[in-house]
């Protein structure tokens, strides 16, 4: 069985500061990892994905994440956040032969303050 | 590419009534997924289709829930005899997929169900 743990439920940060949102996963099969963002009353938008290859993945809006197999982590980072980055962020995992279904973490609420 | 659409966006119903939601995926996507999201939680997988075949159903999907994708295009999710615990956001997503690898899923805006 697969699972995802997002270690912080809320992350407050000041504008232009760096941020890291932490995600750990467990899986018995090869994994594909994703970060999604959800703005209030909207669906989820894909930020970035790791399928294979380079462990450093760059996404939209200046976000990046690093896949660390030994630590089973996929932390999301941004060097300088904006007010508009305030949203809920979800880490998700999918595995080989799983039909593509996503297992999500509980989410991290990023709050960017001026 | 018009994205994934869902209808209605909001539904308020009384306990015991039946409701049906519709999802229109991105046209060339062969896979369609349903998730449920309650307040403060991440989405939970309910079921998915590859073309018109329903390939997996979660244990969360009780006998009161049924989903269809009759021609491999749009899908419907019906909840019979709604209960207050069914109140949630129901999300639909679509993707290309086949074999071992699935590509990223694109989500619709969701249908928010409130059972009174």
Do A44 and B55 count as a contact with CB atoms less than 8 A apart? Answer: no
For residue B35 the two structure tokens come to 């998730």
Do A44 and B107 count as a contact with CB atoms less than 8 A apart? Answer: yes
Question: Considering only CB atoms, which chain A residues are within 8 Å of B38?
Answer: none
pLDDT of residue B102: 62
CA distance B108 to chain A (A): 6
pLDDT of residue B99: 61
Q: With helix as H, strand as E and coil as C, how does chain A read?
A: CCEEEECCCEEEEECCCCEEECEEEECCCCEEEEEEEECCCCCEEEEEEECCCCCEEECHHHCEEEEECCCCEEEEEECCCCHHHCEEEEEEEEECCCCCCCEECCCEEEEEEC
Surface of B (4-43) touching A: CB under 8 A? 4, 31, 33, 35, 40-43
pLDDT digits (tens, 9 = 90+) for A53-81: 888 999 999 999 999 999 999 999 999 99
Assign A51 a pLDDT band (cuts: 50, 70, 90). confident
* A101: Cβ contacts below 8 Å, ≥ 6 apart: A94, B33, B45, B48, B56
pLDDT of residue B72: 85
Token pair 């590859």 is at which residue? B50
Choose from A42, A57, A99, A108 for mutation: most chain B CBs within 10 A. Answer: A99
Q: Which among B44, B56, B91 has the least Cβ separation from residue A43?
A: B91
Nearest CA in chain B to A10: B40
Question: Considering only CB atoms, which chain A residues are within 8 Å of B40?
Answer: 106-107
Greatest alpha-carbon pair distance for chain B in Å reads: 43
Do B48 and A43 count as a contact with CB atoms less than 8 A apart? Answer: no
Arithmetic mean of pLDDT, A71-95: 95
CA pair distance A107, B38, nearest whole angstrom: 12
pLDDT of residue A99: 77
pLDDT of residue B23: 98
Nearest CA in chain B to A99: B102
Question: Considering only CB atoms, which chain B residues are within 8 Å of A103?
Answer: 45
pLDDT digits (tens, 9 = 90+) for A7-30: 999 999 999 999 999 999 998 777
DSSP designation for B27: T
CA-based nearest residue to A69, from A33, A113, A20:
A33
> What's the start-to-end Cα distance of chain A, in Å?
41
pLDDT of residue B19: 98
Do B110 and A90 count as a contact with CB atoms less than 8 A apart? Answer: no
pLDDT tens digit at each of 116 positions of chain B: 579 999 999 999 999 999 999 999 999 899 999 999 998 899 999 999 999 999 999 988 889 999 999 988 999 999 999 999 999 999 999 998 766 566 789 999 999 999 99
Beta strands in B4-110 (DSSP E): 5-7, 10-13, 19-24, 31-37, 44-50, 53-57, 65-68, 75-79, 88-95, 97-98, 101-102, 106-107
A34 in contact with B at a CB cutoff of 8 Å?
Answer: yes
């Amino acid at each position: 069985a697969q699972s995802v743990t997002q270690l912080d439920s809320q992350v407050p940060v000041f504008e232009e500061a760096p941020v890291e949102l932490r995600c750990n996963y467990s899986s018995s099969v090869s994994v594909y990892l994703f970060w999604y963002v959800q703005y209030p009353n909207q669906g989820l938008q894909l930020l970035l994905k790791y399928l294979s290859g380079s462990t450093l993945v760059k996404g939209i809006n200046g976000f990046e994440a690093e896949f660390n197999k030994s630590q089973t982590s996929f932390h999301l980072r941004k060097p300088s956040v904006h007010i508009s980055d305030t949203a809920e962020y979800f880490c998700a995992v999918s595995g080989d032969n799983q039909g593509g279904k996503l297992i999500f973490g509980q989410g991290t609420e990023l709050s960017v303050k001026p | 590419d018009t994205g994934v659409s869902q209808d209605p966006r909001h539904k308020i119903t009384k306990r015991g009534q039946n409701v049906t939601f519709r999802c229109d995926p991105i046209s060339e996507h062969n896979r369609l997924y349903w998730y449920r999201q309650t307040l403060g939680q991440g989405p939970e997988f309910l079921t998915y289709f590859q073309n018109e075949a329903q390939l997996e159903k979660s244990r969360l999907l009780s006998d009161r829930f049924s989903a269809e994708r009759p021609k491999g295009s749009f899908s419907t999710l019906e909840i019979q005899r709604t209960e207050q615990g069914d109140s949630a956001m129901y999300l639909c997503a679509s993707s290309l997929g086949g074999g071992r690898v699935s590509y990223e899923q694109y989500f619709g805006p969701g249908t928010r169900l409130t059972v009174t």
